[in-house]
Amino acid sequence: MQKVLSNQLWRKIKAEAAKAKVRQAAIAYVTRDLVGFEKGDGLVTDASKRAVRMGETSAKLLSTLFRKGVELYSCAGLHAKVLLLDGTAVIGSGNLSASSESTLVEAAIMTNASTVASGVASFIEQLKGQSVRLDETSLRALAKIKVVKHGFGPGSQAGKRRRAVVSELGTRTWLIGVIEDDRDYTESEQRLIDQERRELAQKFKVDKDSFTTIRWSGASSFPRRAQAGDQVIQIWRQTSNGKRPSSVLKPIPILDIKRLKGSTFAFVTDSEKKSAQMKWSTFKKLMKRLGERRAFGPHSERVLDPELADAIVRNWKSAMRYAKV
């Protein structure tokens, strides 16, 4: 799916949001909930004193969202307008406001292209890490600010605040060979894994057993460069002695990366559905059909070209159907 939206932009976004389990957003100014945020969702906005005083962000609305259980973050200087509705990304011009809904001419692209969705997820998570988490105390303080709604001229402090730094976005797609991990975890590793699964379960509103872990030792390319938001395609072998892979798992996003004593742990969703598993022979035929000439196999560890990664996702179902004929 790839759509350019303008007319009834927020109606279409809200309809897509209603189907999603989790809604995440980084939107500069917020005065009206046009998304339909629910408990466990996340919103990064500019809730600075200046933005609230100018009426660009509503402290009253933020308090309402907080009571619903929405995680709120304030990032002064934010000007982005992006949403992630499960695997669907929206990148556009509109703030969450009555004027954006009914008066202004807005435009946005809505897409489920996996590399775009991964990039938006990475962008939002990076902002959260550099933003102020809003709680009852900070929201009460914002609610006391008198709204004056006027512009600011030359010499204001608007340009002097610290700007959030966004590093390279997690838009890579990795092709890696994996085997079943039969080694025992240390006590500290198990604590880390259990804690991360609990946090992911709360964030994505699913059972903690919905996630699995890829453990990688050493300092090769994947553990050094992989980051949350990247995608991973796993070439699966049952044992390290097996020369021929048994299956390949459909591209899925890395939800988080943890590093501990020489080991890297990548947390991903469990890929037990048959539609997410392709026979090795079928995958090789798909890659050949897509024009991939570089060698790959059970020991692969490399980043795919973004166009190839998106083509794999687009052609996954058709390749599976073709293999059954």
Angle, nearest 10°, between helix axes 59-68 and 136-143? 160
Q: Is residue 223 part of a domain?
A: yes
271 and 250 Cβ atoms separated by less than 8 Å: yes
Q: 253 and 132 in one domain?
A: no
Q: 275 and 186 in one domain?
A: yes
27 and 96 Cβ atoms separated by less than 8 Å: yes
pLDDT of residue 272: 65
Look at residues 102, 129, 160 and tell me which one is the last residue of a structural domain: 160
- For the chain, the C-alpha Rg in angstroms (whole number) is 22
Q: Is residue 167 part of a domain?
A: no
pLDDT of residue 129: 84
Domain holding 80, by residue range, is: 2-160
- 3-state DSSP assignment of residue 261: coil
Q: Is residue 182 part of a domain?
A: yes
Q: 211 and 129 in one domain?
A: no
CB count, 10 Å around CB of 174?
Answer: 23
- 3-state DSSP assignment of residue 104: coil
Q: 252 and 316 in one domain?
A: yes
Q: Is residue 306 part of a domain?
A: yes
Q: Which phi-psi region, left, alpha or beta, contains residue 181 (left: φ > 0; alpha: ψ -120 to 50)?
A: beta
| 10-residue averages of pLDDT along the chain (325 residues) | 87 95 95 95 95 94 96 95 95 95 92 86 88 95 87 46 61 89 86 91 82 87 87 87 84 88 88 81 95 92 89 90 74
pLDDT of residue 242: 64
CATH number of the domain to which 36 belongs = 3.30.870.10
Q: 126 and 75 in one domain?
A: yes
Q: Is residue 124 part of a domain?
A: yes
Look at residues 113, 136, 160 and tell me which one is the last residue of a structural domain: 160
Look at residues 160, 185, 206 and tell me which one is the last residue of a structural domain: 160
**In angstroms, rounded to a whole number, what is the distance separating the alpha carbons of residues 304 and 169?**
15
Q: 182 and 85 in one domain?
A: no
Residue 232 β-bridge partners: 174, 252
Largest alpha-carbon pair distance within the chain? 70
Q: 187 and 40 in one domain?
A: no
Residue 214 β-bridge partners: 266
Q: 150 and 179 in one domain?
A: no
Q: Is residue 168 part of a domain?
A: no
Q: 255 and 315 in one domain?
A: yes
Q: How many domains does the chain have?
A: 2
Tokens of 43: 């919103």
243 and 199 Cβ atoms separated by less than 8 Å: no
Q: Is residue 66 part of a domain?
A: yes
pTM above 0.75, yes or no: no
pLDDT of residue 166: 59
Per-residue burial over 132-146, b = 16 or more CB atoms within 10 Å of its CB, e = otherwise? eebeeebbeebeeee
Q: Is residue 225 part of a domain?
A: yes
